[in-house]
Amino acid sequence: MNSTATDVVRLLTVNGGTLAVAESLTGGLVAAEITSVPGASKVFRGSVTAYATELKQELLGVDAALLAARGAVDPQVAAQMAAGVRKALGADWGIATTGVAGPDPQDGQPVGTVFVAVDGPSGPRTGSASGGKVEALRLNGDRAEIRRESVRSVLVLLLTELAGEHTGNERAQDTEQNGGF
């Protein structure tokens, strides 16, 4: 069991949040990692594995013109996948993976090009697209290694966002308890 997934489930539970996952190159591995954690059913809404490009548009609401112009391996596509799954499954947080695990390039992108995204209740942040946060990865290794690292990376990205939210909530509660100082 992954300690990052355990921490994600713990923080979501503490914050009373829920999570939905949109996956492409990881093919369900992110959802499997999260659901391997005891208690995940309290926070995990579900997942959409939209491996085929047209399903990203049909199931997750990714802009068809964006997909036609840029292909599925794109930071804006990742952001829209995260936002789309969050909306479709009624979750507080949405995360997404899209990229090229190999063995061949896709949409003009080399093997190892991956985008992971998170979309949450805190709204747009600096460097984000479509109200979330996207991280571009350039991974080395074989197909299995690229997919594994993509899972790890999207969970770390989410954990960073959740930890920031949790820290902010603790500070707000502490300020409230101390008379607003």
By three-state DSSP, how is residue 150 classified? helix
**pTM of the predicted model as reported, rounded to 2 decimal places:** 0.87
- What is the rounded CA–CA span in Å between residue 148 and residue 26? 8
CB 118, CB 94: distance < 8 Å: yes
With b meaning 16 or more CB within 10 Å and e meaning fewer, what string describes 111-150? bbbbbbbbbbeeeeeeebbbbbbbbebebeeeeeebbbbb
For 118-158, how does the pLDDT look when each residue is reduced to its tens digit (9 = 90+)?
A: 999 864 443 333 348 999 999 999 999 999 999 999 999 99
Each residue's pLDDT tens digit, 65-106? 999 999 999 999 999 999 999 999 999 999 999 999 999 999
